[in-house]
Amino acid sequence: MRDRSVTYSSDVVFSALADPTRHAVDLLRVARLPAGQIAEVFPISGPAISRHLRYLRRAHLVNETRVSRQRVYELSVAPLKSVDAWLNQYRSFWEISLTSLKTVVENEKAKRKSTTRKEKP
């Protein structure tokens, strides 16, 4: 068996997930599935699904094992962790931005309430 230490490129992972058909990885969050069961969910041919699964496998998003004549796929979490680490940079940005927006909106609301109260006799 070859060395499995791989550096996951978020570019490759994003590229692999760009096509909606490759969101088949969502099906694999719950259980390992044979290619035939994955193909049943999508309105495209079996060979087309095989090409998408091959692309996901090359991006290391899924692992393939053979059980008898079937190819069974399971989700590989490691590349998704690299994407999560990349996204984490943006989470803090958005948390700060949304907190600032909340403050502005609350201040505007408070100003309107105080202005409305002053206008009433």
Q: Are residues 83 and 121 in the same domain?
A: yes
Residue 1 domain-assigned (yes or no): no
**Residue 60 main-chain phi, psi, to 5 deg:** 65, 20
Q: Are residues 70 and 33 in the same domain?
A: yes
pLDDT of residue 1: 43
Burial class (CB in 10 A: 0-12, 13-18, 19+), 83: middle
Q: Are residues 37 and 55 in the same domain?
A: yes
pTM comes to 0.64
Residue 43 and residue 50 in contact, taking contact as beta carbons nearer than 8 Å: no
Residue 58 domain-assigned (yes or no): yes
Burial class (CB in 10 A: 0-12, 13-18, 19+), 81: exposed
Q: How many domains does the chain have?
A: 2
**5-31 pLDDT, tens per residue?**
555 666 788 888 777 777 777 888 888
**42-95 pLDDT, tens per residue?**
888 889 989 999 999 998 999 999 999 999 999 998 888 888 888 888 888 888
Residue 65's domain spans which residues?
Answer: 10-76
